[in-house]
Amino acid sequence: MIKVDPNLCIGCRSCSNVCPSQNILRSDSEGIRRILWKRCREECDLCVEFCPAKALTLVPFDESVSEPQLSFDLVSCRICGSRYAPEPMLSRIEAAVPPDSQRDPEGREWIRVCPACRLRAEAQRAAREGVSGRRGEALRRGK
Amino acid sequence: MTVYVDINRCIGCRSCEVACQRVHGGSGHVRVSFVEGLASVPIFCHHCEEAFCAAACFSGALHKEGDRTAFDVDKCTGCGLCALACPFGVVWTEKIAHKCDLCWGRTEPACVATCPANALSTDGEPPSRQSQVRAGRAGASGCLR
């Protein structure tokens, strides 16, 4: 069965996706992601191998040990307010992206904006810069 | 190869979205966004020189291959880090990740081949001139394409 280090797990979807026996249950509801690692007798260690945070280890089956369960508050998008990602995943992105690339042309910390709003912002930028003639003027006035 | 967009020509018909879905088994990698009722803009992967999606990918599924940000489907676990690392919201994770692959293996990206307004091109030439060249070539070879 699986042992989880709650200090390392980032709340991503890797282990629940790769488990061939559906022993790892993940749900997103009401702004919270919950992950439950069911007690399993499998010898397979795909989840261990594919954990980006190295948070999982395979331990001998033991019925007396409770099933590990973690929950993560999903962070709210700074534009639309939708709950889109666990905090540890965003922190990990912030660690991977150079600090001088973490603000968009409007000065917003784009990592703290949900992907759907990032796409909308990119379309607005492209339209203001790329459209010529009267439509373009109207777009730039509307900024 | 790069796909250039001439926003002034885009008519917002979403043919590029449909063409992309058709060649990628239903998961499209381009979104046409409508801005303030004045412009339509197809948005897709920029194949960034410094690709944060590839930097965030722990399994090596997303990686640079020359100018292209390539995707190895067999290595993807669908963790979702790449989608959060893309500044433009053009990497998606459903069961696994998907994004524009520039229609690798095809002679021309399906969106470019399909765009009826000549808003998309691979050479960055003004599309009107480009269509003239194409028409000329078609005439010379005796076929209408």
**Bridge partners, A109 (sequence order):** A103
pLDDT for A143: 58
Domains of chain B, by residue range, sit at 1-44+103-140, 47-99
Report the pLDDT averaged over residues B69-90: 96
SS3 A1: coil
Measured in angstroms, the CA of A62 and the nearest CA of chain B are apart by 28
pLDDT band per the 50, 70, 90 thresholds, residue B131: low
pLDDT band per the 50, 70, 90 thresholds, residue A101: very high
Provide the 10 A C-beta neighbour count for residue A131: 22
Tens digit of pLDDT for each residue in B98-111? Answer: 999 999 999 999 99
Cβ A52–B81 below 8 Å, yes or no? yes
pLDDT band per the 50, 70, 90 thresholds, residue B124: confident
| Mutation target among A131, A132, A134, A137 for the B interface, most CBs of B within 10 A | A131
Tens digit of pLDDT for each residue in A79-89? Answer: 999 999 999 99
CA-wise closest residue to A119 among B91, B54, B119: B91
Contacts of A45 (CB under 8 A, 6+ apart): A58
Of A14, A96, A139, which has the smallest distance from its Cβ to B78's Cβ?
A14
Q: What is the mean pLDDT of chain A?
A: 93
Cα–Cα dist A105/A111, whole Å:
13
Report the pLDDT averaged over residues A100-109: 94
Cβ B52–A96 below 8 Å, yes or no? yes
Check: CATH 3.30.70 for B1-44+103-140? yes
Contact residues on chain B for A126, CB-CB shorter than 8 A: 5, 7, 41, 43
Q: Which CATH number fits domain B47-99: 3.40.50.970, 3.40.50.300, 2.70.70.10, 3.30.70.20?
A: 3.30.70.20
Contact residues on chain A for B78, CB-CB shorter than 8 A: 13-14, 17
pLDDT for B143: 47
Whether A121 and B86 have beta carbons less than 8 Å apart is answered as: no
Same fold yes or no, B1-44+103-140 and B47-99: yes
Measured in angstroms, the CA of A93 and the nearest CA of chain B are apart by 6
pLDDT for A7: 97
Cβ A126–B31 below 8 Å, yes or no? no
For chain A, what percent of residues have pLDDT higher than 70?
99
Measured in angstroms, the CA of A138 and the nearest CA of chain B are apart by 8
Contacts of A49 (CB under 8 A, 6+ apart): none
Report which secondary-structure segment, H or E, holds B98: strand B97-98
pLDDT for B130: 54
pLDDT for B138: 54
pLDDT for B144: 44
Whether B131 and B113 have beta carbons less than 8 Å apart is answered as: no
Give the length of chain A: 143
Query: Bigger pLDDT: A136 or A37?
Result: A37
Complex ipTM value: 0.93
pLDDT for A89: 98
